[in-house]
Structure 1
Amino acid sequence: MKKIMNIKPTKPLAAFLSLLPFVIIFFVYLTASGERLAENPNDKLLPSFQQIYSAIDRLAFTENKRTGEYLFWQDTSASLYRICIGIGISSLLGLIVGLLTGLIPLARSGLSPLVTFVSLVPPMAILPILFISFGLGELAKVMLIIIGTAPVMMRDMQSHVRQLPAEQLIKAQTLGASTWLVSLRVILPQILPRLLSSMRLSLGAAWLFLIAAEAIAAQEGLGYRIFLVRRYMSMDVIFPYVIWITLLAFLMDYLLRKTSEKAFPWYHSNESGK
């Protein structure tokens, strides 16, 4: 008799099991919402799917009378711009600083303690400082994402560089490769897939910092809209926005994973073999 830890589900069963929790959540919500609305038709905690649909239609497919824009897509565009800029700069800094501190002992001695210190600073604690220093515009929001994610990427890249086999570096130097050539031809190709993995792991934190910054000081954005309507207990708006943020994060993670699999198949074949 097989042990349960050795039983692998078939593809149909795996698909069914992956969908089952969502189906259960759907029916639990449907039942709870129906019961609350039957007791109090004005209840706002668990809106019906009709109310949620009406809110989505109003925000996403109806022009705002004051601005003439579609608020849902305007908020989405603003938030995506901020998070893409923040994650992009963080990944670039993580790659450069991680490569330097991982390969060059002098750089590691000078920068590694600072990177470690900054990575332990709670980003939310310095949010007021960012708003005072950079104002209430886009820069402060992007800087919060960078401060919250870049140091973690730097440490991850440094660790990965230092874990590379020393024999590779020695052989490259024996063949006459300079430090620049070793970085470019030996180390960089091996840490790029790790960088994409680090970006994927940082997405959750990046969205958290973005929503927090938008909630405090913004005129548009997904986080701004959620905290704007919370005073009215507009759960028919909050629920779709939260689900949409989750879907956007999932899509970004999926695109990064597929990019990594296409560009670096050898890295994922090694992962699957472990």
Structure 2
Amino acid sequence: MRKIINYQPQPMTRVLMGALPLIAVIFFYLVASDARLAANSYDKLLPGFDAMWAAIDRMAFTPSPRTGEYLFWTDSAASLLRLLVGVGLSAFLALVFGLFCGALPVVRSVLSPLITLIALIPPLAILPVLFITFGLGEVSKVVLIVIGITPFIVRDLQLQVQAIPHEQMVKAQTLGGHSAQILWRVVLPQLLPRLIDAVRLSLCSAWLFLIAAEAIAATEGLGYRIFLMRRYMAMDVILPYVAWITLLAFTLDLLLRVINRRCFPWYYAK
């Protein structure tokens, strides 16, 4: 048993082991799809890969007869723009509030209770309020993402700042550093890699809020298209869209992880 807990798979072995569950899911889907289609060739619940590929070809590579747009790419661009703007604003606000709340007890005493209160509000519960306040356009969707993930990133960064050894602050002050220099030269560099990690962990929630907003009020977007196709039980469109969202989320997560490792190698050497 001691050998098992100390076993470290090689990189290629880890890739193969990680691929096994995905292969198993695809295999069981194919078996279940074949069984349902054999019983009813018009079954829509588990379409075959050929039907899904035909749907992808229709959505991604054939212009819409009504608008002339390639709907798949139009939806992807609209959702990604909303997501990146929302997450970017959240990261900036979280960095500012997390830095000052964590490093300055006076600011923490004033703002920390408010941030905690906002974090406890279910973001989807105030979605109608956002639509009434900001309209049904892009602003309300971006604001929902910001409200949904910013408080959690702020609290994470605040804890990270408070975990910095107090000796570092004392040494910086001994060397003549004032408050602004300590924040800029001591605290901020240690906060940036944690910010990227916190954003990575918040991406799933950001996608959730985005898709919910698009499902209620949008004319384009991945969430809008999924809920539109639900009316027609078009699983041959819905499943590829879900898989595409998963691939986009995985790519963004991987990109952030690579950026973090390249820019802050010392963070992973701890």
TM-score calculated relative to the size of structure 2? 0.98
Secondary structure in structure 2 of the residue aligned to 1:41? coil
- Equivalence for 1:17: 17
Task: Supply the distance in 1 between the matched residues of 2:194 and 2:209 (Cα, whole angstroms).
Answer: 23
Q: Could you say which residue in structure 2 is the equivalent of 1:110?
A: 110
Q: What per-residue deviation string (whole Å, max 9, x for no partner) do you get for residues 24-62 of structure 1? A: 111111111111111111100000111000000000000
Cα shift at 1:4: 2.4
Q: Are 1:81 and 2:81 counterparts?
A: yes
- Cα pair distance change 1:12/1:190, threshold 3 Å: closer
Q: How far 1:69 sits from its partner (Å)? A: 0.8
Separation in 1, partners of 2:61, 2:83: 24
**Alignment partner of 1:113: what SS?**
helix
Q: Partners of 1:257 and 1:170 in 2: how far apart?
A: 32
Distance 1:223 1:136 in 2: 15
Give the superposition deviation at 1:8. 3.0
- Match of 1:169, SS state, is helix
- Structure 1: segments with no counterpart, 5+ residues: none
- Aligned-residue CA RMSD in angstroms? 1.1
Tell me the secondary structure at the aligned position of residue 47 of structure 1.
Answer: coil
Provide the residue aligned with 2:246 in structure 1: 246
Counterpart AA for 2:229: V
Mapped partners of 1:19, 1:30: distance in 2:
17
Inter-partner Cα distance in structure 1 for 2:162 and 2:15: 39
* Residue range with higher mean Cα deviation, 27-36 or 69-78: 27-36
1:109-156, Cα deviation, whole Å (9 max, x unpaired): 110000000011100111111111110000000000000000011111
**Cα offset, 1:2, TM superposition:** 4.8
Residue aligning to 1:53: 53
Moved more, 227-236 or 24-33: 24-33
Q: Which amino acid aligns with 1:253?
A: D
* Residue segments in structure 2 that go unaligned for 5+ positions in a row: none
Residue aligning to 2:200: 200
* Structure 2 CA distance for aligned equivalents of residues 137 and 172 of structure 1: 48
TM-score by length of 1: 0.96
Q: Secondary structure at the match of 2:269?
A: helix
Which amino acid in structure 2 is aligned with residue 195 of structure 1?
L
Gap change, CA 1:34 and 1:143, over 3 Å in 2: same
Equivalent in the alignment of 1:233: 233
Paired position in structure 1 for 2:174: 174
Which residue of 2 is the match for residue 216 of structure 1? 216
**Percent identity (aligned):** 57
Within 2, Cα distance between the matches of 1:255 and 1:9? 23
Alignment partners' CA distance in 2, 1:23 and 1:254: 21
How far apart, CA to CA, are the structure 2 residues paired with 1:54 and 1:72? 13
In the aligned structure 2, how far is the partner of 1:110 from the partner of 1:7?
48
Larger mean CA deviation between 258-267 and 18-27 belongs to 18-27
> Per-residue displacement from partner, 1:196-237 (whole Å, max 9, x unpaired)?
000000000000000000000000000000000001110000
Q: Any residues of structure 2 matched to 1:247-262 within 5 Å, and which?
A: 247-262=247-262
Offset of residue 14 of structure 1: 2.7
Q: Which residue in 1 is equivalent to 2:128?
A: 128
* Equivalent-residue separation in structure 2 for 1:136 and 1:108 (angstroms): 35
CA distance in 1, matches of 2:13, 2:179: 52
Distance in 1 of aligned mates of 2:101 and 2:9: 44
Matched residues in 2 for 1:11 and 1:109: separation? 46
SS of the residue aligned with 1:232? Answer: coil
Q: Which amino acid aligns with 2:74?
A: Q
Inter-partner Cα distance in structure 1 for 2:12 and 2:215:
42
